[in-house]
């Protein structure tokens, strides 16, 4: 089974940058779509970005477009979310997701999830 582990979160000032990583312990990472979601207490899990297995197709939420970049390195079984120009509104727990059927806007369509990494942006 796919086992995803996020890392790279932390506390940064507004305008700063973070690069999140999503490492897969399995051998089938390259066959899966990859997504990033975020969640704050009491809120639904929110779509951030997704990328298909080859990296040819990707989507971004309007709130992060132009600031965040999703990428993947299938040879390393790792996905990334480069976050620039961070805002306090970006504060959330960020989750990596994977699915063999392709990307979806809806969080409940994804089969595999990491444990999350906390991102806190101060003003």
| Residue 99: partners with Cβ closer than 8 Å, 6 or more residues away | 32, 33, 35, 109, 110, 111, 112
Helix (H, G, I), strand (E, B) or coil at 109: helix
pLDDT tens sequence across 90-107:
999 999 999 998 889 999
Q: Is the dihedral of CA 66, 43, 91, 74 positive or negative?
A: negative
pLDDT tens sequence across 39-91:
999 999 999 999 998 889 999 999 999 999 999 999 899 999 999 999 999 99
Number of neighbouring beta carbons within 10 Å of residue 54: 10
């Amino acid at each position: 089974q796919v086992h995803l582990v996020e890392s790279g979160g932390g506390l940064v000032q507004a305008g700063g940058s973070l690069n999140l990583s999503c490492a897969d312990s399995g051998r089938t990472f390259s066959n899966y779509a990859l997504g990033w979601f975020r969640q704050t207490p009491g809120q639904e899990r929110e779509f951030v970005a997704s990328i298909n297995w080859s990296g040819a197709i990707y989507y971004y939420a309007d709130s992060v477009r132009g600031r965040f970049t999703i990428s993947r390195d299938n040879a390393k079984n790792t996905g990334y979310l480069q976050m620039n120009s961070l805002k306090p509104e970006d504060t959330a727990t960020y989750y990596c997701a994977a699915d063999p059927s392709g990307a979806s806007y809806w969080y409940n369509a994804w089969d595999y999830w990491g444990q999350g990494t906390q991102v806190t942006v101060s003003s």
